[in-house]
Every structure is written in C-alpha cells, then in structure tokens.
Amino acid sequence: MIKKDIFIGILVGLIANAVGLLLVATLLGQGDDFTTVIKAAAKEGFLGKLISLGAILNLVAFFIFIRKRQDYRARGVLLITIFIAVFTFVFKLF
C-alpha cells in the first residue's frame, strides 16, 4: 500500500510538471506552439529554467496531499520534485 501511494505521488508529480511546463511554454511563448518554444529554449539555453517553472504545480499537488493527510503520496511528489531539481542542475552543467 505504501509503495502504491508513493508511485501515485510520483505520477501526479510528473503529470503536474508536464502540465506546468505546457502552461509556462504557452504563456511565455508569445503565440508560438509548444515544440517551437521548447526548441528555442534549448537553443538559447534556458530549457532548464522552463522545466523548473513547470515544477511549481508540484507545490500545489504536494500541499493538497498534505492537507488530505496522504503523506506517502506527498512524499512521491517531493521525490519527483527533487529529481527534477537534480536533473535541471545537471542539465545546466552540460
């Protein structure tokens, strides 16, 4: 049961990050489509910043799970948020 809740939290964290990235790319893309914004961000070197901004929705999911006392799901969201932070750090180095 605990592993299942952590896995659900990880999935929610990934989905929240993907939706957040889509929202950020749409809002900051000035009318361009998603793939164009992502390609331009990768070319100009700020893709890691877009991914980090997309992770803001993980904060919302985390606090919803905490408020509902679903600690293991919140732990899964926290794990994926830490993974995204490490990924963007490594991505920025290379």
pLDDT higher than threshold 80 for residue 67: yes
Give how many domains the chain has, as a whole number. Answer: 1
- Count of CB atoms situated within 10 Å of the CB of 52: 22
| Tally of CB atoms within 10 A around 22 | 15
* Secondary element (H or E) of residue 68: none
Amino acid code (one letter) for 84: I
Amino acid making up residue 19: V
pLDDT of residue 47: 86
Distance of alpha carbon 13 from the chain centroid: 6
Position 60 scores a pLDDT of: 95
pTM: 0.88
For CA atoms 91, 92, 93, 94, give the dihedral sign.
Answer: positive
Domain residues for 58? 2-93
pLDDT at position 31 over 80: no
Q: Which of 37-51, 54-68, 80-94 has the highest mean pLDDT?
A: 54-68
